[in-house]
């Protein structure tokens, strides 16, 4: 158990809809990262939050947004969903900014299926 909690585990929705994925980092970790993993694909970095502020941005679509709340949990909002958004979405956390040798602890992921 990594200590990172993601909900829900599975999500099935239709095109055009909006969903929210939730992540609770390990106790004490200040950074939260979101990654997208499509079938047989690698881990595509979406966005990182550190202590409530956006720290780094990857290939995140404009239809996607995220935030980190004062209690450090994070939510990833996906809107106007398309079939191609179907993927496994991972959240990871690290103690601080992610530099200096920190490692990532991954949650079990949310499997999103857009029909």
Partner 1 sequence: GQQVMQIPQYQHVQEGEDFTTYCNSSTTLSNIQWYKQRPGGHPVFLIQLVKSGEVKKQKRLTFQFGEAKKNSSLHITATQTTDVGTYFCAGVNNYGQNFVFGPGTRLSVLP
Question: Residues in the site for partner 1, rule: CB under 8 A?
Answer: 2, 33, 35, 40-43, 45, 48, 56, 90, 92, 97-99, 101, 103-109
Query: DSSP E strands: which ranges in 1-115?
Result: 5-7, 10-13, 19-24, 31-37, 44-50, 53-57, 64-68, 74-78, 87-94, 105-106, 110-114
* Cα(95)–Cα(80) distance, integer angstroms: 33
Taking the least distance from each CB to partner 1, the nearer of 70 and 101 is: 101
Q: How far is the CB of 59 from partner 1 (least distance, A)?
A: 10
Taking the least distance from each CB to partner 1, the nearer of 58 and 84 is: 58
Taking the least distance from each CB to partner 1, the nearer of 73 and 79 is: 73
């Amino acid at each position: 158990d990594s200590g990172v909690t993601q909900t829900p585990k599975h999500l099935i929705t239709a095109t055009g809809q909006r969903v929210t994925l939730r992540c609770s980092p390990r106790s004490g970790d200040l950074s939260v990262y979101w990654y997208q993993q499509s079938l047989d694909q690698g881990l595509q970095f979406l966005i990182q939050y550190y202590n409530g502020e956006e720290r780094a941005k990857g290939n995140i679509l404009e239809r996607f947004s995220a935030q980190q709340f004062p209690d450090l949990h994070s939510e990833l909002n996906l809107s106007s969903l398309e079939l191609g958004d179907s993927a496994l979405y991972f959240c990871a956390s690290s103690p601080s900014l992610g530099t200096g040798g920190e490692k990532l602890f991954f949650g079990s992921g949310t499997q999103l299926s857009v029909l």
